[in-house]
Amino acid sequence: MDIIENFIDYVKIDTQSDESSNTYPSTIKQLNLAKKLVEQLQNLGISNAFLDKYGVVYAKIPANTEEAKDKIGFIAHLDTSPDCTGANVNPKIIEKYNGKNIILNEKENIVLDTKTFPSLLENIGETLVVTDGTTLLGADDKAGIAIIMNFIEKVLNSNIKHGQISIAFTPDEEIGRGTDNFNIKEFDSDYAFTLDGGSIHNIEYENFNAASATIKIHGVNIHPGSAKDKMINSILVAEEFNDLLPNDMIPSKTEGYQGFNHLCNINGNCEYTEMEYIIRNHSRAIFEKQKKDFEIARNILNHKYGYNIVEISIKDSYENMRTFIEKDPRSLNRIVNVYEKLKISYTFSPIRGGTDGARLTVMGLPTPNLGTGGFNYHGRYEYASITQMKKMVDILLELIQ
């Protein structure tokens, strides 16, 4: 099947995940795509393809040579973001994109314009797929799935000598549960690549170290009319606490390799206030120092008020995969060689978040991320470049040789 045909088919299947659900997968509808993929894989002759009880699809192509070759895996996710509806997606194909604004929806005046989205200018001449302006597209991550499926078909119809190739399609990546039930043993690879997002010229093997912090502030409440020298308003102490943290280390003032502390929730009254922060940094050393800053702020305030007015608890969430990839750089070396051989330009871009691959890497399966030619994720301005998707198929075909 043609890569465009497959991609269009996949995005028309609603696979939105749901954070509030406690089931695996979080939504049954993700299985509609999972089952279709198993069927397609079996039709291609991969009889071992199956869907497990957690909604993960696994498949393997055995090695076809005696020569010792690495076992390589490829992973993409089935679900789309809960941020924007993925029902009734009505994709439109634009051949040889001319660099002008794209009218997504004439009636509602929804336009994909090059000023707001300058990445479009890098797509001139390419074949694009866009939305009708009312839903997301779901290139995140159905572009990844379409690339892998097209790649498999080409492998099976070629004479390429390769080692074992493992495939997995996972549910619930968008709600952070994509690897909760991932079976590394079943997957059986030396290393893997997630195909999830962005320009195909980005190779990603660095992400944040991440922690979350809960701050509890115990104030003293009393009638405001007779409060002099008695009341301690916990909301104002919360403000003091936040002021004691590095003021420029916040999301709106950082980019690239700069980490941050983000106050994402605050709730309270005079008597008691609770604050939630997330702490992020690519550098382990600075990350540890950021956590220390929280303790220092607590100590200052506890000393100032003369009792344990501030309590903090900090929990690590995920780690930067870079440290692990550097210990076992086979995946990275291999992909870089391919880009150089095919003379495709690349940059290493640090992910300002986490990925399923980061978790798998820490679990023992080194898994950098590759781009899929999808842009503006999680909203109505999402679009995909079929031209870049096809190029990524060529990259994967070279990678396994």
Size of the site for Zn ion (CB under 5 A): 3
**Which residue stretch of 19-27, 141-149, 361-369, 391-399 sits at the interface with Zn ion (rule: CB under 5 A)?**
141-149
Q: How many other C-beta atoms can be found within 10 angstroms of the C-beta atom of residue 253? A: 11
**Which residue stretch of 17-25, 82-90, 139-147, 382-390 sits at the interface with Zn ion (rule: CB under 5 A)?**
139-147
Of the pair 132, 356, the CB lying nearest Zn ion is at: 356
Q: How many other C-beta atoms can be found within 10 angstroms of the C-beta atom of residue 108? A: 11
Please give the C-alpha separations between residue 133 and each of 107, 310, 335, 378, in angstroms, as whole numbers.
Answer: 10, 47, 35, 12
Q: Does 126 bind Zn ion (CB under 5 A)?
A: no
Q: Does 382 bind Zn ion (CB under 5 A)?
A: no
**Which residue stretch of 7-15, 133-141, 305-313, 389-397 sits at the interface with Zn ion (rule: CB under 5 A)?**
133-141
Q: How far is the CB of 141 from Zn ion (least distance, A)?
A: 4
Of the pair 207, 273, the CB lying nearest Zn ion is at: 207
Helix (H, G, I), strand (E, B) or coil at 73: strand
Q: How far is the CB of 203 from Zn ion (least distance, A)?
A: 16
Task: Identify whether the C-beta of residue 279 lies closer than 8 Å to the C-beta of residue 290.
Answer: yes
**Which residue stretch of 137-145, 199-207, 261-269, 271-279 sits at the interface with Zn ion (rule: CB under 5 A)?**
137-145
Has 141 been annotated as catalytic? no
Catalytic residue selected from 14, 141, 173, 196? 173
Q: How far is the CB of 46 from Zn ion (least distance, A)?
A: 24
- Residue of 383, 334, 319 lying closest to 74 (CA atoms): 334
Of the pair 140, 319, the CB lying nearest Zn ion is at: 140
Site for Zn ion (CB under 5 A): which residue of 14, 79, 132, 140? 140
- Residue of 308, 331, 140 lying closest to 216 (CA atoms): 308
Q: Report angle CA 150, 151, 153 to the nearest 5 degrees.
A: 65
Helix (H, G, I), strand (E, B) or coil at 30: helix
Q: Does 132 bind Zn ion (CB under 5 A)?
A: no
Of the pair 273, 369, the CB lying nearest Zn ion is at: 369
Q: Kindly identify the residues of this chain, within the stretch 162-201, that bind Zn ion according to CB under 5 A.
A: 196
Q: Does 141 bind Zn ion (CB under 5 A)?
A: yes
Q: How far is the CB of 135 from Zn ion (least distance, A)?
A: 16
Give backbone dihedrals phi and psi of 306, rounded to 5 degrees, phi first.
80, 10
Of the pair 196, 204, the CB lying nearest Zn ion is at: 196
Of the pair 310, 321, the CB lying nearest Zn ion is at: 321
Q: Report angle CA 247, 253, 257 to the nearest 5 degrees.
A: 105
What distance in Å separates the CA atoms of residue 284 and residue 286, rounded to the nearest whole number? 6
311-344 burial, b for 16+ CB within 10 Å, e for fewer? ebeeeeebbbbbebbeeeeebbebbeebbeeeee
Has 173 been annotated as catalytic? yes
Q: How far is the CB of 196 from Zn ion (least distance, A)?
A: 4
Catalytic residue selected from 79, 132, 204, 206? 79
Which residues lie below 8 Å from residue 176, measured CB to CB, with a gap of 6+?
Answer: 354
Q: Does 319 bind Zn ion (CB under 5 A)?
A: no
- Residue of 128, 282, 122 lying closest to 202 (CA atoms): 122
| Residue ranges that bind Zn ion, judged by CB under 5 A | 140-141, 196
Q: Would you please indicate which residues are annotated as catalytic (active-site) residues?
A: 79, 173
